[in-house]
Amino acid sequence: MRQKKISALELSRALGQEFPPTREQIAVIEADLSPLLVVAGAGSGKTETMAARVVYLIANGWVLPEDVLGLTFTRKAASQLLQRIRSRLAALAASGLISADLREHLLATEPQVWTYHAFGGRLISEFGTLVGVEPTARILSATGSWQLAGSVVRRWDQDLRTDLTPDRVTERLLNLSGVLADHLRTPAELEKLTLELAAAIEDSRPTRRQTSAIHSKLVSLHTRLTNRSGILPLVEAFRQAKRAAGVLDFGDQMQLAAELVREQSRVGAELRHRHKVVLLDEYQDTGHSQREILTFLFGSKSGAMGHPVTAVGDPCQSIYSWRGASASNLPRFITDFPQKDGADAGRASLLTSFRNPSDILTIANSISAPIRSAPVAVDVLTPRLGASRGQVRYGLFATSLDENTWVADTIAHEWRTAQARSAPPPTTAVLFRRRSAMAGIADLLTERGIPVEITGLAGLLNEPEIIDLVSTLQVLVEPAAGGAAIRILTGARWRLGLADLAALQRRARQLSQRPATGRLVAKVSSNNGDDDVDGSHRLSAVRSALTHAQRGESFESAGLVDAISDPGPGAEFSTEGFDRIRRLGSELQWLRRRLAQPLTDVVADIEHTIGLDIEAPLAGTKGRTHLDAFAQVVADFSGQASPTGSGASGSSLTAAVDLLEFLRVAADAENGLAPGEVEQSDSAVQLMTVHAAKGLEWQLVAVPQLAESIFPGVKGLSWLSDDGQLPPSIRGDREDLPQLDLSHCLDQGEICDAVEEHKAAWKAAQLTEERRLLYVALTRSEGTLVFSSHWWSYGATKYRGPSAFFGELADAASAVAVPDEWADRPLPDEANPLLRKPRSALWPADPLGGRRAAVETAASMVRTAVALRKAEAAAPTRFAKPPALSEAPETTQAKTSAAEGPPIRVLPSEEAGVAREGDDPRGWKRDVDALIAEKKALEIKQFTVELPSTVSVSALVALARDPARLAQNIRRPLPVAPSVRARRGTAFHQWLERYYAGEALLDLAELPGADFRDTLVENDIESLRRSFLTSPWADRVPQDQEVPFAMMVGDLPVRGRIDAVFSDADGGWTVVDWKTGQQPDSAGAAAAAVQLAAYRLAWAQICGCDVEEVRAAFHYVPSGITVSPTELLDEAGLFRLVEAGTSSLTTPERPEIGAQGAGVHNGEELE
């Protein structure tokens, strides 16, 4: 043990920390430089402790900042850890505790903190050539992988031996490819095992009572094996497609990195020399490939034991086995990373919760009791000194509707109580085991006026406006999208009645009764040449079309889509219904012609055509939130340049089909397609799965639906029920999993017994993970915990009842609270009360609902006003123009031409102040008055314009630069013309974001929307990239990038997005905006500085620091020049700008022109 010069307590005081470290934390902070396992409970301050350990080691001179490597799972966690270390090191530099030399060193260097995947990518980038991998290989995102895998499936021309649909095949293909990489296995190894298991079933003799070749209890398993075997050739084809395109996915990164460190021992020697201290966060969530990489680099397989590796994790929170995590990695750490003498690694604990109140911890500890003894012994989590008791509310209800209503009422009560105190509402989350349960509570909360946010892509796809948008896209590209067609037809816009819908269905049957002469013949004809004398080409085309036909394709549904375009004679329909169908058909026909455009433009066209761009803003400042979020999903998806020609680089039709398949799987996936990173919201109740809630915390947490077969779930992922999972015998963590052994089985009956025994063992293992999942849910609460269950659910003829988990929770909660309600068990002959009161609704739905009477009254008033104005405009008028010189005044006629200007109405003489006819016999005064009126009417007037309810930072810059132009753009918005400059800027920002994320540098082909025919953009980006890599910013790591914000300047909401934020050695910050153009002149620079002023103020509000601690700069990439304005507006200055600018927002406009409607704003990001 080295002699410490500065203790952890002394360091804490010197750095001015409000709370000193606890005894547990001190033990970790001051631990020796040797392998150490830290078991850190939920909310125990592990991030602060890890940061304090780094600072402690540096302050005592045992390591330098650049010697430290930190690894974690998400970019958010990596950013938080790095920022915590940076701020502590900055305080250390200013403390006077260290030497001048070390102080100077701290200003120039910092630790490296990466995600596990980014670290694997760095290994490939730096050392990949040692194993024949190009360091410049492009990394596919999740959507890029989906597109490439989808193209492999679509182009497959061999028998798949599976009954799965193409989108499900793509899903299984990606799952299998991922788990094979995670466990460092090949498709050939899995194929061999799968065939052996299938053969064991097929070759075993049947039982005496068995009437089929395969026992009925083995049919499902045999089908899974067949499906898995059928998909494996696609997995190999997918690997070959990636290799041919020169791309890798995240699984490939880790697999290749593992092969690299296994085969090249010098890589480990280099990294041990470079990283003298290693921190591994959330180690319980690492997978087999990550464990292999780390043990070969820093552990027992490196040949150099005792390297200072500190792993932090909680065995009670290991919940990601479904995506490759191995709960056994944590207990194995002590032997994987032994001391120098071969002894097990040291161990410490952080078991004081700084998050949870005492009563909530009591309940959480009761749930974790069965899992605290294995695989790593863990003591109970204890509350901090002075922790409150918190609040626990729970109940058991007769029906799921009663339960949902109670949960919504409970949350609404807490929000309204806070509102009555003029306090912000409590941050709130409702955590679910099943996504399908979210809609019921979401609707009830919305009815009570509580804002709701369903997190994740699946939640977004449940929003009504997104359903309408996606349904329209389906109808455009999928002839069989009957369900989507019905939604559109019976939705709020078209509201087709039952009689008309039935008539349209009859027309659909007429069209669908001839599939071989309809769509199929069209396809055959398009593939048939005039020289097809013998019909061979035609026969081949028919066979091809039939081979690729979807199993279960509904020709009736397909015909329904066709019937909208071809409804036939109108006699079968009502007059209004027929008109609506024809108008819808015209819209769809126009949209189909737009399918040649980029997918993002197609989606924007749909949004505009079906009126969402008009309706959404009516919902207030957040009206476009869901549409903008979906637009980003589409942009991300289409921005992946597929090497195969689909996606961004292929047709929009193909890209749209890919997108719809991707969205279908995302909507159905219980755990989501990817872990994702969710941010806590303080303005809405967040609804999400428990998996998505890991690492977050809220003041109020509700966990409903703790009912039998719901939570814990009975359909957990396993290789027996999911074709995309590996059998346990070839997993990297097989020693800790139940195994299926058929070697002793003599017939299929014994195989059935062995399978059932294996299922039971696997179910027990799944139940353990479900318990960990519940523990994670409970420990998210900072103040109030709500949990509940029910007896009856919709559609059930037998009651479900509360789960065993609910019973355990209720027993523990009874010591600290009484239930709000406790419904008795139903009687044996009792019927489901929900069946006696079936759910009912008006169909087609009335879009106005209870507001119809008020809206119709208002509409009637508007119509009346319009009619009066038209009548007034049609009243007799007199017109005049100046008399020609050749004309005598008395012969001048009251006439005008439309080409000379709009007609001017002259008021009756009494109203206009013109002398009566008798006082002006020649009409001179009348004509003069008419001329004056005409001149006034044609004068260009100044119209005052109001700012939109929400503006972007770009609008503030425009307000400073040219208020008149801004006013004109607001009053008469025009579309923005596409430009090379805009494409260049977008492409460079995308590349820069990936660069800082630690992923391999991208080739030009990978940039979103990349098109090699656009040589101007291609050449510019290459030049910008070279210029940036020579700048000082290339060697710095941003604290965050692409940071969205919304803030108030006075009463005006302002939104924007900060390109990048860097932390400075003195503890301050620098916000940077990347510019791909040239520097403006002095006047333009002054206006542009408003952008930096807004960014500086926004970041100060985000991080809670003084605005003077935030610097701001433009970096002009082409010239490599960084400009840091010294005089930037503060909050008061921005407020004065808005006040002064608003008063001068006028625009010259003719009155008849000013009545035009608004379109897309001309170049400014306004809402």
Per-residue model confidence as pLDDT tens digits over 725-764: 889 999 988 888 899 999 889 899 999 999 999 999 988 8
Which tokens belong to 97? 């505790």
Q: 225 pLDDT exceeds 80?
A: yes
With cut-offs at 50, 70 and 90, classify the pLDDT of residue 663: confident
Q: What pLDDT, on the 0 to 100 scale, is given for residue 886?
A: 39
Query: What is the percent of the chain with per-residue pLDDT over 70, rounded to a whole number?
Result: 77
CB-CB contact of 97 with 14 (8 Å): yes
Mean pLDDT over the full length of the chain:
80
Q: What pLDDT, on the 0 to 100 scale, is given for residue 147?
A: 81
Q: What pLDDT, on the 0 to 100 scale, is given for residue 340?
A: 94
Architecture of domain 8-121+276-291+301-350: 3-Layer(aba) Sandwich (3.40)
Strands 941-944 and 1146-1149: antiparallel
Q: 269 pLDDT exceeds 90?
A: yes
Count, residues in the chain: 1167
* Cβ neighbours of residue 647 closer than 8 Å, sequence gap 6 or more: 144, 147, 637, 638, 640, 641, 654, 655, 658
CB-CB contact of 956 with 1054 (8 Å): yes
Q: What pLDDT, on the 0 to 100 scale, is given for residue 896?
A: 31
Residue type, 1106: D
The closest of 499, 365, 353 to 22, measured between CA atoms, is 353
Q: What pLDDT, on the 0 to 100 scale, is given for residue 526?
A: 37
With cut-offs at 50, 70 and 90, classify the pLDDT of residue 513: low
Q: 1159 pLDDT exceeds 50?
A: no
With cut-offs at 50, 70 and 90, classify the pLDDT of residue 673: very low
| Same fold yes or no, 391-455+678-725+779-836 and 951-1149 | no
Which tokens belong to 1002? 């991208």
Least confident of 508-517, 583-592, 1041-1050: 508-517
Spell out the domain ranges in the chain: 8-121+276-291+301-350, 391-455+678-725+779-836, 459-526+552-638, 878-937, 951-1149
Residue 100 vs residue 322, higher pLDDT: 100
- Residue 312 three-state SS: strand
**Residue 246, annotated ligand binder?**
no
Rounded to 5 degrees, φ, ψ at 818 are -110, 150
Cα(1107)–Cα(1093) distance, integer angstroms: 10
With cut-offs at 50, 70 and 90, classify the pLDDT of residue 423: very high
Q: What pLDDT, on the 0 to 100 scale, is given for residue 651?
A: 59
Q: 899 pLDDT exceeds 50?
A: no
CB-CB contact of 648 with 641 (8 Å): yes
**Residue 44, annotated ligand binder?**
yes
Helix 482-490 to helix 464-477 angle (10° resolution) is 130
Q: What is the mean pLDDT of residues 780-791?
A: 97
Least confident of 367-376, 441-450, 699-708, 974-983: 974-983
> What is the distance in angstroms between the CA of the first residue and the CA of the last residue of the chain?
62
Residue 623 vs residue 149, higher pLDDT: 149
Q: 532 pLDDT exceeds 50?
A: no
**Residue 165, annotated ligand binder?**
no
Residue 886 vs residue 232, higher pLDDT: 232
Q: What is the mean pLDDT of residues 78-89?
A: 87
Task: Specify which of 22-31, 139-148, 552-561, 911-920 reaches the highest per-range mean pLDDT.
Answer: 22-31
Q: Where are the beta strands (DSSP E) in 793-890?
A: 821-822
With cut-offs at 50, 70 and 90, classify the pLDDT of residue 546: very low
**Residue 446, annotated ligand binder?**
no
Residue 6 vs residue 394, higher pLDDT: 394
**Residue 340 burial (CB < 10 Å; 0-12/13-18/19+)?**
exposed
Q: 286 pLDDT exceeds 70?
A: yes
Q: 534 pLDDT exceeds 70?
A: no
Residue type, 900: E
Token look-up 């599939």 returns 515
**Residue 269, annotated ligand binder?**
no
Q: 837 pLDDT exceeds 80?
A: no
Q: What pLDDT, on the 0 to 100 scale, is given for residue 68?
A: 96
With cut-offs at 50, 70 and 90, classify the pLDDT of residue 884: very low
Q: What is the mean pLDDT of residues 143-148?
A: 81
What digits encode the pLDDT tens for the residues 939-957? Answer: 545 556 666 667 788 888 8
Q: What pLDDT, on the 0 to 100 scale, is given for residue 208?
A: 85
User: Residue 1148, preceding bond cis, omega within 30 degrees?
Assistant: no
Q: What pLDDT, on the 0 to 100 scale, is given for residue 1125?
A: 84
Q: 908 pLDDT exceeds 60?
A: no
Token look-up 């209720």 returns 810
Q: What pLDDT, on the 0 to 100 scale, is given for residue 1151?
A: 36
Task: Specify which of 46-50, 77-81, 511-515, 548-552 reaches the highest per-range mean pLDDT.
Answer: 46-50
Task: Specify which of 244-258, 386-400, 880-894, 976-990 reaches the highest per-range mean pLDDT.
Answer: 386-400
With cut-offs at 50, 70 and 90, classify the pLDDT of residue 671: very low
Q: What pLDDT, on the 0 to 100 scale, is given for residue 792?
A: 95
CATH class of 951-1149: alpha beta
CATH number for the domain whose boundaries are 459-526+552-638: 1.10.486.10
| CA 84 and chain centroid, separation | 26
CB-CB contact of 462 with 440 (8 Å): no
Q: What pLDDT, on the 0 to 100 scale, is given for residue 933?
A: 62
**Residue 1120, annotated ligand binder?**
no
With cut-offs at 50, 70 and 90, classify the pLDDT of residue 416: very high
Q: 1156 pLDDT exceeds 50?
A: no
Q: What pLDDT, on the 0 to 100 scale, is given for residue 910?
A: 37
**Residue 42, annotated ligand binder?**
yes
CATH superfamily of this structure's domain 391-455+678-725+779-836: P-loop containing nucleotide triphosphate hydrolases (3.40.50.300)
pTM for the whole structure = 0.70
Which tokens belong to 448? 């009570």
| CA 26 and chain centroid, separation | 39
Residue type, 609: T
Q: What is the mean pLDDT of residues 462-469?
A: 85
Q: What pLDDT, on the 0 to 100 scale, is given for residue 356?
A: 96
Q: 19 pLDDT exceeds 80?
A: yes
Residue 356 vs residue 455, higher pLDDT: 356
In sequence order, the β-bridge partners of residue 122 are none
With cut-offs at 50, 70 and 90, classify the pLDDT of residue 1000: very low
Q: What pLDDT, on the 0 to 100 scale, is given for residue 528?
A: 40
Q: 1035 pLDDT exceeds 50?
A: yes
Q: What pLDDT, on the 0 to 100 scale, is given for residue 984?
A: 72
CB-CB contact of 1105 with 1069 (8 Å): yes
Q: What pLDDT, on the 0 to 100 scale, is given for residue 56?
A: 95
With cut-offs at 50, 70 and 90, classify the pLDDT of residue 1143: low
Q: What pLDDT, on the 0 to 100 scale, is given for residue 283?
A: 94
Cα(42)–Cα(44) distance, integer angstroms: 6
Q: What pLDDT, on the 0 to 100 scale, is given for residue 537?
A: 45
Q: What pLDDT, on the 0 to 100 scale, is given for residue 715?
A: 63
The closest of 988, 992, 999 to 1021, measured between CA atoms, is 988
Query: Which helix or strand (DSSP H or E) is residue 844 part of?
Result: none
What digits encode the pLDDT tens for the residues 1106-1126? Answer: 888 899 999 988 888 888 887
Q: What pLDDT, on the 0 to 100 scale, is given for residue 259?
A: 94
Q: 535 pLDDT exceeds 60?
A: no
Q: 162 pLDDT exceeds 90?
A: no
**Residue 47, annotated ligand binder?**
yes
Residue 193 vs residue 976, higher pLDDT: 193
